Amino acid sequence: AKEKIACDVLIIGGGPGGYVAAIRAAQLGKKVVLIEKDKLGGTCLNYGCIPTKALVQSVSVLGHIKESSHYGFDVPDVTININKVMGRKNDVVKQLVSGIQGLMDNNHIRVIHGEAHVKDDQTIGVKTKQLDATIHYQKMIIATGAVPIRIPIPGSDLCEVLTSKEVLELEEIPTSITIIGGGIIGMEIAFIMNALGVEVSVVEYLPSILACLDHDVSDVVRQSAIEKGIHIYDGAKAMGIRKTMNDKMITEIDINDKSYLISSDKVLMAVGRRANLESLDYDKLGVRLNEKGSGIDIDPFMRTSNDDIYAIGDITNKIQLAHVASHQGMIAAEHIAGMAHEMHYDVIPSAIFTMPEVGTVGLSEKEAQEKEQSVNVVKFPFFACGKAIAMNEPEGFVKLIVAEEDKRLLGGAIVGAHSTDLIATITQLIQDKVTVEEALKVVYAHPTLGESIHEALLMADDRGIHFG
Ligand code: FAD
């Protein structure tokens, strides 16, 4: 049926940017319509953050079972039922997606499942089997996310060359996989696949995997990967992929002008994601892209070059993380309702679910040095933390970067067990511009991994008790 819909706020895209913006706008009394062409929750819930973490949990249980004799239990041989592993992951996703649908209903947000297209700068159209809608809005928020990049090498379009989305939907475990790209997504999947018994090779163009991290931090993950039998080829350029007569995929790589061939059943292309710029006609909307043309240009309130249109999340190509998208969504919705909170990008935590995990926030040591700040860097190793030893998780450390001048915390990185949860504490300290002395007034419970943050703070004040 044809329908004309009018709303205060129209949101295109139901990922962690769009659905959070929708709820916040509804809380502020706006009549909200959200259009989603695929599934509520977007990439994060359906094909990204959540399914990967559900699988990380499964393989970490497997890891504990395999180490069970260390804890005093003799468990006979373990077999992997991949259907159940994937089924549990799907159940987790389903539960969360239906939770979002419930939130939409509770907040009286109309969700239209269909693909939005631009009619003119005031009107969006959406056609579904049941509906041919024309939507007029006062304000619109674009939250259409990002899509995977495929590097233009021969064979990159072969059907055995998968994206992360397809890897997360595999019904059978391949014997071997070559992962092109040793960034966050590539390395998370490398550890999952390795734990499931897959022979994994990672090809990274840069000199090191997880190049976004300081070397000492990425080295812990690199060493762990190598110990687990993951083959790492860094400083290696993928030149092409071809399929042999017996269905093997051959990836040709170049290291220092020497050519090598890696054979595997599947190839994963994990070389990054780019803003989904094709899905709407931005010229018609009067919405400009940024200078590089890599995302929609926005001001600190998420406004685009068209005052009535906002953009949030991966489509803005600021920092491609779910919590950034959600925070931008809150700011956009609140700005529409007359509140003016600016978005800042300098204290954004990042969580990497490798084995061990990594959490970072604020400046890295490298960035602090590039900014020519005089810094004191301290590291407290988990092997000196009682709880980490009791947990049999002695790998890694808490690293703090502290300004020499006023002893304020500038950055932190934690590599080790539960570091993605622990990083919240350091995030709060940096956000609050706390000095080491002020931070040391906080008492940390014993025995906890959090005590390692306390010990690192003590080290920054030359008062380390258990180390250094
Ligand atoms: P998306 O979540 O991509 O949502 C955009 C939505 O818009 C999609 O559902 C799409 O269908 C819809 N859409 C697009 N065009 C239209 C249209 N024309 N009409 C209607 N609907 C449309 N981030 C983290 O913070 N932590 C993690 O651990 C993490 N792990 C990840 C693991 C993987 C494998 C991947 C791929 C990503 C991961 N990310 C992680 C990144 C995270 O998923 C994204 O940063 C986040 O989803 C961005 O949210 P968004 O709302 O901008 O876009």
**Pair of tokens at residue 283:** 């010229």
pLDDT of residue 372: 76
C-alpha to C-alpha distances, 244 to 29, 155, 175, 203, nearest whole angstrom: 60, 12, 16, 20
Average pLDDT over residues 201-224: 97
**Pair of tokens at residue 297:** 């240009």
Give the pLDDT confidence of 174-189 residue by residue, as tens digits: 999 999 999 999 999 9
Give the pLDDT confidence of 412-451 residue by residue, as tens digits: 999 999 999 999 999 999 999 999 999 999 999 999 999 9
Do the Cβ atoms of 18 and 42 come closer than 8 Å?
yes
- CB 321 near ligand 1, within 6 Å: yes
- CB 360 near ligand 1, within 6 Å: no
pLDDT of residue 244: 97
Task: Name which residue sits closest to atom 28 of ligand 1, judged by CA.
Answer: 49
Q: Cα-flanking dihedrals φ and ψ of residue 232, to 5°? A: -110, 125
Q: Give 66-115 as a DSSP string.
A: HTGGGGT---------HHHHHHHHHHHHHHHHHHHHHHHHHTT-EEEESE
**Pair of tokens at residue 142:** 């674009």
Indicate whether this model's pTM tops 0.90: yes
Task: Name which residue sits closest to atom 30 of ligand 1, judged by CA.
Answer: 49
Name which of 1, 19, 21 is nearest 134 in CA terms. 1
Q: Cα-flanking dihedrals φ and ψ of residue 348, to 5°? A: -100, 120
pLDDT of residue 1: 87
Q: Is 430 left (phi over 0), alpha (psi -120 to 50) or beta?
A: alpha
> In this model, does residue 112 exceed pLDDT 80?
yes
Tell me what the pLDDT averaged over the chain comes to: 97
- CB 116 near ligand 1, within 6 Å: yes
Q: Is 317 left (phi over 0), alpha (psi -120 to 50) or beta?
A: left
pLDDT of residue 355: 98
Indicate the helix (H) or strand (E) that contains 241: strand 236-243
Give the pLDDT confidence of 307-322 residue by residue, as tens digits: 999 999 999 999 999 9
pLDDT band at residue 468 under the 50/70/90 scheme: confident
pLDDT of residue 18: 98
Residues annotated catalytic, as ranges: 446
Do the Cβ atoms of 140 and 12 come closer than 8 Å?
yes
Dihedral, CA atoms, 296, 301, 303, 305, nearest 10 degrees?
A: -80
Helices 215-227 and 184-195, packing angle to 10 deg: 20
- CB 427 near ligand 1, within 6 Å: no
Could you tell me the distance, in angstroms and rounded to a whole number, from the CA of residue 50 to the centre of ligand 1? 11
Q: Give the residues across from 201 on adjacent strands.
A: 178, 231
**Pair of tokens at residue 174:** 């391949």
